[in-house]
Structure 1
């Protein structure tokens, strides 16, 4: 073990009781203080299991078996008292709610410090410091349940930062953050790392913001094996086809560079370029595929002067049949609340929501759910039975369909979403990505005409996300109307017909994606948004062409 290493793992193998094969298989790796390491792998490859093993939660909380050796600063993990390693190795979980145990924001940050016997005056100062770092000072006294999903992720980070660990593990830390907050989050973490010197292990699908800061990349396959350990650009260059086959997300910059290399436009012997300017001169007209609209122009769902408590202020808009509408905006802007109003899961305080010309409040529950499907931001909020199979079959059985049809449609949907092998498991035992796929499968199986989805691709590897999007496209082509809450500007750019931008419970913009991108960087930044890769690349190309023209003049 090198003197600068914090953690060394030798031949780590982890198996769960119900699984036939190990989820981690013979891993060997080390992590150092001050180093930024990116851990990539498809859903179900064992990334979260590795995280639990590294911070000492496993094997104590493991329903299974862990073998191999683990060392922290050359001491075996077994030499530490229970909970001791968790103070030195901080984790921000993919589902931040799972690590909260207090009622208010400030009490949650203070909780860990109190367990370390920190003096009260020091606790108060550290709480203020940590909350200011993540931009939550103004909700210090708020209850945690009142926070948006993105704000909860920021709170989880504040709790860890306050305890001053030597290694921080971030599990999908930016997945619920708006684009502007995502960039600010990354810059904050890196700035703190440079100041404090802690190590960083990042498990992430949103790679673009991290590219400039990563020292090292670990690549895992779906069999729980480590197949690469080295620089990020070299790893993607040498293993691009394997990465695609495994379903690991490829940064837009790398994907475009690879396409240019395949066409012989740029040198395929070099590593992937790390700047837009390196590839922008090679982009030709028609390089990006334009989307097709299926909107009928016929009103499907209308809101007229709709309000909800202090969250949504008078809001009027109409969504048309066959339209794909994206709801975007800053964390806490009211996006999820609006989606719940659209689906009839919340009743407006004022105004009217109309579905197919009828007031939503006049629908009986069973009639409404035959028309509208909803996917929650937290998948567990919609699970009602004890197995994956029965969860998907539940809605079909309420329709009194023949059991043979229920079984056939359920098995088809489980196969589509990569859940067939898990059909007998309890939904709560699935990984976060698998829970998301299950929540979408339970809705898609019923063929409603209006689908409302809150962060549909959250926590998915690239294969799973693309499968979800393909099935949604198919439903749209068949006439369904889609409404999605998302922070993914690439998803908006490629698939949305219209975009609703929320700001403090009001509608700040209602128009096409192209109209939105033309608003400019300053306007977008004010609403915590950013232009998608395609638009930024095209602008870099125009800027480069203008510079060349100026030099010639």
Structure 2
């Protein structure tokens, strides 16, 4: 088979870091091969991703040594934009690659970059929307879509490039469990049809089953024993239960919820159900929402945590609200190694944990977390779980939106289910996971018992 990408002793170093993020990396991707890249958050997976698609070092201040060849030609001999004609990229944060307001315009923009004649655009847009199951979203404004829907649109744009190589960074992170499985089946069929060379970064490799030919582990970790929630001594004193009624015209029907102080509630449901809208409405971020709720101060971490950042370092970000437990939460959420780094420069998983640590440190009585598990390895999930148990024991009422049903089973005192803007529940988690009708209606899957795999060399978390 032809060697399409060759890395020989590649080292990459950010100018502000004492040690290289990648050192003496050698990797060969041949025609039609399918590779999985895994390792803990912050180990350099996304940096490797950007070196593969040619964005680094041109798009940053980093320095690269070693040999990088694409189709036998050095990367630095390609013209600007030429590499993207052969390598399609879907980023972990789909918002970062959108340029146009609507789905149709974004797809047309992609075709314009390929110099496709205008008279052919409509046919190609129709074809890719049908292949990706996105026909009904053709005229939708991208920023009104759910995180999972945005991910599918970003994938559709990448595939319009007719690439030879496809790079996917955490493509399942924002997909509900059933949609994730459908995505893998759909992408697998397309790979067979087109013969792409594929490289995927993913913490959810179990969903991919036998898709991959090769696996590269960038860094191995060990994980301490997981403490049960019952091991935490409740310290709830005078905190009041949180009550709210909220409605968003045209999106969310009247939703009533009551959160007990010290409880952890999981909000689950299919992509596009309105979960993020509900959290935003509760946090007071949707002006047109009809909202009545008790007076507790709310902490909120969105799917794109960088929207919250306003300081030049992770440590300053965590301490910004005046909390006195900055170092505790930096350590707890595995951020001490990047505490002095700019929060915009760390990995997506570290960005998410930075925003969570800041809200935990603020000590707010109600905490809303939108997809905190996305992009997290097993070790990071372990520490996040432990931190949530700790603040719940201290009286915080926590709401977590997640598609990770293993995580949901382990942390949830109760579950709320949302579909088509209609909120149901609360349910006991065991009743949800034992009811085939609920699982089918809300596009969920049974967890594998909730226990994390004790072999953590791969630092992965299964969502089966």
Of 387, 390, 404, the match for 1:474:
390
In the TM superposition, residue 322 of structure 1 has moved relative to its aligned partner by 1.9
The separation in 1 between residues aligned to 2:306 and 2:368, in whole angstroms, is: 17
Maintained 8 Å contact 2:102/2:142 = yes
2:451 maps to 1:525? no
Maintained 8 Å contact 1:385/1:391 = yes
Of 308, 316, 325, the match for 1:390:
316
2:376 maps to 1:376? no
1:266 corresponds in structure 2 to: none
Structure 1 window deviating more from structure 2 (169-178 vs 458-467): it is 458-467
The structure with the greater share of residues assigned to helix is 1
The separation in 2 between residues aligned to 1:244 and 1:423, in whole angstroms, is: 20
SS of the residue 1:428 aligns to: coil
Identify unmatched segments of 5+ residues in structure 1: 222-242, 248-287, 361-367, 398-405, 537-553
2:144 maps to 1:123? no
1:308 corresponds in structure 2 to: 248
Structure 1 window deviating more from structure 2 (34-43 vs 417-426): it is 417-426
Maintained 8 Å contact 1:42/1:246 = no
Please give the residue correspondences for 1:44-193 in structure 2 after superposition, counting only pairs within 5 Å. 44-193=42-191
Flag the 1:140–1:150 CA change in 2: closer, same or farther, 3 A. same
Maintained 8 Å contact 2:300/2:369 = yes
Identify unmatched segments of 5+ residues in structure 2: 452-464
1:440 corresponds in structure 2 to: 356
Q: CA offsets per residue over residues 101-129 of structure 1, 9 Å max, x none?
A: 11111111121211111122332222122
Flag the 1:531–1:139 CA change in 2: closer, same or farther, 3 A. same
Flag the 1:494–1:466 CA change in 2: closer, same or farther, 3 A. same
2:26 corresponds in structure 1 to: 28
TM-score when normalising by structure 1 = 0.76
In the TM superposition, residue 374 of structure 1 has moved relative to its aligned partner by 1.6
SS of the residue 1:212 aligns to: coil
In the TM superposition, residue 151 of structure 1 has moved relative to its aligned partner by 0.9
2:351 maps to 1:425? no
Maintained 8 Å contact 2:13/2:22 = yes
Flag the 1:343–1:300 CA change in 2: closer, same or farther, 3 A. farther
SS of the residue 2:367 aligns to: strand
SS of the residue 1:185 aligns to: helix
Please give the residue correspondences for 1:230-269 in structure 2 after superposition, counting only pairs within 5 Å. 243-245=220-222
The separation in 2 between residues aligned to 1:393 and 1:317, in whole angstroms, is: 31
The separation in 1 between residues aligned to 2:303 and 2:162, in whole angstroms, is: 30
SS of the residue 1:395 aligns to: coil
SS of the residue 2:256 aligns to: strand
Q: CA offsets per residue over residues 7-35 of structure 1, 9 Å max, x none?
A: 11111111110011111101111112222
In the TM superposition, residue 535 of structure 1 has moved relative to its aligned partner by 8.6
The separation in 2 between residues aligned to 1:351 and 1:416, in whole angstroms, is: 34
Maintained 8 Å contact 2:174/2:403 = yes
In the TM superposition, residue 74 of structure 1 has moved relative to its aligned partner by 1.7
1:483 corresponds in structure 2 to: 399
Higher relative contact order (CA 8 A, sep 6+): 2
The separation in 2 between residues aligned to 1:32 and 1:526, in whole angstroms, is: 42
The separation in 1 between residues aligned to 2:59 and 2:257, in whole angstroms, is: 49
1:510 corresponds in structure 2 to: 426
Structure 1 window deviating more from structure 2 (527-536 vs 61-70): it is 527-536
SS of the residue 1:413 aligns to: helix
Of 336, 346, 358, the match for 2:276:
336
Q: CA offsets per residue over residues 482-514 of structure 1, 9 Å max, x none?
A: 111111111111110111110111114431111
TM-score when normalising by structure 2 = 0.90
SS of the residue 2:250 aligns to: coil
1:364 corresponds in structure 2 to: none
In the TM superposition, residue 479 of structure 1 has moved relative to its aligned partner by 2.3
1:11 corresponds in structure 2 to: 9
The separation in 2 between residues aligned to 1:421 and 1:509, in whole angstroms, is: 41
In the TM superposition, residue 291 of structure 1 has moved relative to its aligned partner by 6.2
Flag the 1:449–1:13 CA change in 2: closer, same or farther, 3 A. same
1:281 corresponds in structure 2 to: none
Maintained 8 Å contact 2:4/2:30 = yes
Maintained 8 Å contact 2:269/2:417 = yes
In the TM superposition, residue 465 of structure 1 has moved relative to its aligned partner by 1.7
In the TM superposition, residue 49 of structure 1 has moved relative to its aligned partner by 0.9
Of 253, 263, 266, the match for 1:323:
263
| Paired residue total | 449
SS of the residue 1:245 aligns to: coil
Flag the 1:117–1:508 CA change in 2: closer, same or farther, 3 A. same
SS of the residue 1:429 aligns to: coil
The separation in 2 between residues aligned to 1:317 and 1:451, in whole angstroms, is: 14
The separation in 2 between residues aligned to 1:321 and 1:393, in whole angstroms, is: 24
Maintained 8 Å contact 2:367/2:399 = yes
When the two chains are superposed, the root-mean-square deviation of aligned CA atoms in Å is 2.6
Of 292, 296, 302, the match for 1:352:
292
SS of the residue 1:126 aligns to: helix
The separation in 1 between residues aligned to 2:259 and 2:110, in whole angstroms, is: 46
The separation in 2 between residues aligned to 1:496 and 1:203, in whole angstroms, is: 28
